[in-house]
Amino acid sequence: MPVLKDFDFAFDPMAVLQRLGGAQVEDPGRQQAWLRMFEGSFAEARELIHPAIAYAVHPVVRAEADRLIVADGSALESPVLASLFAEAPEVVLMIYTIGPELEARVAEYGKANDVMAGFTLDVTGSLAVNEVGVVGYSLIEGLARERRVKASIPLNPGTSHWPMSGQRVIAGLVPAQEIGVEVLDSGLLRPFKTIAFAVGLGSNIITPAEGSSCDYCETRDLCRWG
């Protein structure tokens, strides 16, 4: 089961500024001012982020009404996943993280009451873990090409159709401990800047060009980023 650590990935500081300042950052003059203001935070983030990915490919055993049975009989308890991956011969389970150091520094800023530094660093980390996910999904697309099939949209535990307990199942089927990730009793992953997802490999699946996981979320109308 493959593990990938400390690799390069694309990261655009402007994406952080857009998240922090919204439309205000569209002005070129403000862009440069904001970049200068947060230059130290971005440099600090680069030192604290240590990306890692753990994944495994497992056979799909069968699809039931509310869950997909994979590997040795483990159940992915999502009716949406069961429906969308029903004809997929295989599923890729993946966990990716930026490591614990950035969130530890954010906590230090919180204790020092340095709200802006902590907030900026936290937003930077959230966007960075998304970019690590882009690298992870690219790996899955490569696996799909090797098999001459397609890679589906990624689906995550913790959504309206897949409870957080699904993260424990995924962590048990990939080498999560090798990248320093553990599952808490709540089902949350630690480090907290860590994401788990499942992707189906097959010919009759929905790809990101054809849809999104947001299409299947019952609370999408309330989502700030939707």
Residue 32's φ and ψ, nearest 5 degrees, are -65, -40
- Cβ burial of 82 (10 Å; 0-12, 13-18, 19+) is buried
Pairing of strands 52-63, 90-97: antiparallel
**For 135-178, what is each residue's pLDDT tens digit?**
999 999 999 999 999 999 999 999 888 999 999 999 999 999 99
Q: Decide if 224 is inside a domain.
A: no
Residue 109 lies in a domain: yes
Tell me the pLDDT tens digit for each residue of 182-218. Answer: 999 999 999 999 999 999 999 999 999 887 777 777 6
53 found inside a domain: yes
Q: Which residues of 103-124 are buried (b: 16+ CB within 10 A; e: fewer)?
A: bebbeebeeeeeeebbebbbbb
Number of helical (H) and strand (E) elements in the chain, helices listed first: 7, 9
In the chain, beta strands by DSSP E = 3-5, 52-63, 68-70, 74-76, 90-97, 150-151, 182-183, 189-190, 194-202
Residue 28 lies inside a defined structural domain of this protein: yes
- Residue 120, domain member (yes or no): yes
Domain-embedded: residue 151: yes
Instruction: Tell whether 225 is covered by a domain.
Output: no
Position 215 in a domain = no
pTM: 0.89
| CATH code of the domain covering residue 36 | 3.40.109.40
pLDDT at 226 over 50: no
| Number of domains making up the chain | 1
Domain that holds residue 38: 3-209
* pLDDT of 7 over the 60 cut: yes
